[in-house]
């Protein structure tokens, strides 16, 4: 009997072609559509029903069964509560990293095991490369514009031993071409962006349902009031749109940037010098290593998904956290985000950013 694979089906072209490729390789394949959010406002923003219909159409075309599972409670407890806690602390969370760790490679994997699966599969653009018995590594996807290794940095290494990534070696253009040749109706479907439970709605309105608005002053670094904000959680470091402080007298017509969030005074600090956002070190906690490393370590890292790899040195701190120093200053390092570490194309692991320093701004 061929090995049984249960693949997460999203309705998009990546999971569709992944399922197709697994069938071509001789696996016994079933699809699983995961519902991770309980819609409370119809389908105006969340496309879950449309996604499910697309996933079903793909499975019907491929001749495989599609199951559904509701992980909304697990998502709330393990991802969304952390998401809100970070915002309340003035941080900038990344729920996609936690969703992969807690849902796709934990609850999905456990559920698939109860169905007798030998493997799970996803449409991520990454590669799990075997290098002999007991040795493997997670590598970036071949398509540099679609590589998703950053989002898998928090997944425990053992979770990859029964995971398959059928399209990690392909370019996105090739994936769409395969889908068209296979007669899959979604071969031109746009890639999803954002988070389902937020969708196209106003982000500030969504957060207001869970985090109390608390108005406070917007000041420059010297403490001069230049405006008023409706809640620090509505802003991120480096933001320059939506501040509503333009046209101030005796101020040059240059853009303003959010350079700090002062929780103690409920103060949003802005400046017209983007250099105030630059910092050359950070501290990160909860490290997750995918291969053994020895510290201190010279490697590369990225503090956001689409950033180019940056040279850095990782050193152990006395409290068990990691101290990361970059060769070049980094713009808008944000607490709550994750930092991923690389050696070439190999993902070494990652950690959650807990403290940062910028080179020119100190809050008094």
Q: Looking at 99, 299, 312, 335, which residue is catalytic?
A: 99
Residues 6+ positions from 61 with CB-CB distance below 8 Å: 182, 183, 184, 185
Q: Are strands 278-289 and 322-331 parallel, antiparallel or unpaired?
A: antiparallel
59 is catalytic: no
Q: Are strands 322-331 and 338-343 parallel, antiparallel or unpaired?
A: unpaired
| DSSP code at position 56 | H
* Short-list 349, 358, 280, CA closest to 97: 349
**By CB neighbour count within 10 A (0-12 exposed, 13-18 middle, 19+ buried), where does 239 fall?**
middle
The Cα 93–Cα 87 span in angstroms is 7
Q: Please answer whether residues 57 and 12 qualify as being in contact, where contact means their C-beta atoms are separated by less than 8 angstroms.
A: no
312 is catalytic: no
Location of structure tokens 């439970």: 197
* Short-list 119, 149, 147, CA closest to 30: 119
- Active-site residues: which are they? 99, 196
């Amino acid at each position: 009997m061929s090995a049984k694979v249960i693949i997460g089906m999203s309705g998009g072209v990546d999971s569709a072609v992944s399922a197709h490729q697994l069938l071509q390789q001789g696996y016994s394949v079933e699809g699983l559509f995961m519902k991770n959010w309980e819609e409370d406002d119809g389908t105006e923003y969340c496309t879950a029903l449309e996604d499910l219909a697309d996933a079903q159409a793909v499975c019907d075309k491929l001749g495989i069964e599609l199951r559904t599972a509701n992980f909304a409670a697990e998502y709330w407890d393990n991802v969304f509560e952390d998401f809100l806690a970070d915002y309340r602390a003035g941080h900038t969370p990344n729920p996609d990293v936690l969703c992969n760790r807690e849902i796709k490679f934990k609850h999905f994997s456990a559920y698939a095991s109860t169905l007798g699966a030998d493997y799970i599969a996803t449409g991520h653009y990454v590669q799990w490369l075997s290098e002999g018995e007991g040795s493997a590594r997670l590598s970036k996807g071949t398509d540099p514009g679609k590589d998703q290794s950053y989002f898998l940095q928090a997944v425990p290494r053992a979770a990859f031993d029964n995971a398959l990534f059928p399209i990690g070696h392909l370019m996105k253009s090739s994936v769409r071409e395969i889908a068209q040749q296979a007669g899959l109706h979604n071969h031109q479907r746009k890639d999803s962006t954002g988070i389902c439970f937020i969708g196209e709605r106003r982000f500030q309105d969504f957060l207001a349902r869970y985090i109390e608005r608390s108005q406070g002053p917007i000041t420059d670094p010297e403490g001069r009031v230049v405006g008023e904000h409706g809640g620090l959680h509505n802003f991120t470091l480096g933001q320059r749109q939506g501040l509503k402080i333009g046209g101030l007298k005796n101020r040059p017509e240059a853009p303003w940037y959010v350079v700090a969030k002062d929780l103690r005074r409920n103060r949003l600090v802005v400046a017209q010098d983007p250099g105030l956002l630059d910092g050359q070190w950070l501290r990160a906690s909860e490290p997750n290593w995918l291969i053994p490393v020895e510290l201190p370590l010279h490697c590369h890292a990225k503090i956001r998904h689409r950033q180019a790899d940056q040279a850095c040195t990782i050193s152990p701190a006395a409290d068990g956290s990691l101290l990361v120093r970059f060769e070049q200053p980094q713009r808008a390092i944000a607490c709550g985000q994750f930092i991923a570490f690389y050696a070439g194309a190999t993902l070494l692991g990652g950690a959650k950013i807990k403290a940062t320093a910028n080179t020119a701004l100190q809050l008094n």
